[in-house]
Amino acid sequence: MQIDLRTVSITPLRQTYDHIAARLGGDKAASRYIEATMDVQASANFHYRPTWDPEHEIFDPSRTKITMKDWYAFKDPRQLYYGTYTQARARMQETAEADFDFVETRGLAEGFDDAARRTALDFYVPLRHVAWGANMNGASMCAYGYGTAITQPCLYAGMDQLGIAQYLTRLGLLMGQSGDLEAGKQAWLEAPAWQGLRRYVEDTFVLKDWFELYVAQNVVLDGLLFALAYGEVDRALNAKAGPTVSMLTRFQAEWFQDHCKWVDAVLKTAAAENPENKALLQQWIAAWRAPADEALAPLASLALGDGAAAAMERVNALLNARLAKAGLAAA
């Protein structure tokens, strides 16, 4: 018996889908990101308008005052679609799990400075409630937003925030006692230092314009809070008691750097679309930045003491630099 093996070259009849070819100006090979993102948004053949919001279609670009000629202009510079997103986060999670295992097996939490431990628990554990709020807001932006190019990364960001809430919970369990999670919850509900931030988060829950919510959550709150919590406070604890907390919050610090690439690209695209968009963005940034600063000031004092004011100045300077690169003025 003889078997002959031959290599046959198969030429595809087309390189991509028709709607992608129309965007590319011809039948050209497209990236997986483009194929998984462009023109996926349902835009026709809706059966009825929502009974709870009869002024809008179920998917409706008029749910925000921001206007775009093409809602798919909001391309993610990270090129994340579900496949690449899960792969990227799996790598980050592997690193985080290794860090938690190292801290636990080497007993680094038990040997941590007691005063620094108390600061870390009082500051970081209540932040899991802020992250849960951000998860809710990410889901809301995805539900009411328009165009898969922006709604899918909104959902990814929301799910990342849920993961951050879980990592903060694990930090509390590893560094604290059994009652520290409940103490963090009570601080969130009752402690005067936390009520400004709690009010901010709860106010975002009732925003009707999903792009204003994008500004309030992703630009202003995340921009200030993450730079404070995983920059200024982390460095202060590191200098005082070593890098244990840095290891337990590495996911958040690395995630924020990644997150900013997308957030800044969206801001820049929206602001460049037309003068009305730019004016709206400036208005929203100014409206939300003042209460965010006011809410974070007592938390900076809680963690940094006399160094809080200087830390907040540096945090605001970082946000100003990002806004300038997006073509927006500091509020």
For 230-263, the pLDDT digits (tens) are 999 999 999 999 999 999 999 999 999 999 999 9
Given a cut of 90, whether residue 286 has pLDDT beyond it is: yes
With b for 16 or more beta-carbon neighbours within 10 A and e for fewer, the 15-54 pattern comes to ebeeebeebeeebeebeebbebbbbbbeeeeeeeeeeeee
- Grade residue 16 by pLDDT with cuts at 50, 70 and 90: confident
Residue 252 tokens read as 């958040």
The angle subtended at Cα 131 by Cα 98 and Cα 59, nearest 5°, is 120
Q: How far apart are CA 309 and CA 299, in angstroms?
A: 11
Given a cut of 90, whether residue 178 has pLDDT beyond it is: no
- Mean local confidence (pLDDT), 117-140: 97
Given a cut of 90, whether residue 2 has pLDDT beyond it is: no
**What angle separates helix 275-304 from helix 250-273, to the nearest 10 degrees?**
160
Given a cut of 90, whether residue 135 has pLDDT beyond it is: yes
67: helix, coil or strand?
coil
Average pLDDT, the chain: 94
- Grade residue 24 by pLDDT with cuts at 50, 70 and 90: confident
Given a cut of 80, whether residue 4 has pLDDT beyond it is: no
Given a cut of 90, whether residue 3 has pLDDT beyond it is: no
Fold for 82-325, please state it. Ribonucleotide Reductase, subunit A (1.10.620)
CA distances from 23 to 71, 146, 282 (A): 13, 18, 31
- The pLDDT of residue 330 is 80
Q: How far apart are CA 204 and CA 217, in angstroms?
A: 8
- The pLDDT of residue 126 is 98
Given a cut of 90, whether residue 26 has pLDDT beyond it is: no
Residue 278 tokens read as 């730019």
Q: Are 293 and 312 in contact (CB under 8 A)?
A: yes
- Mean local confidence (pLDDT), 44-73: 93
Residue 293 tokens read as 């600063």
- The pLDDT of residue 19 is 84
Given a cut of 90, whether residue 7 has pLDDT beyond it is: no
Which residue has 């992608």 as its token pair?
20
Residue 178 CB coordination number (10 Å):
8
- The pLDDT of residue 215 is 98
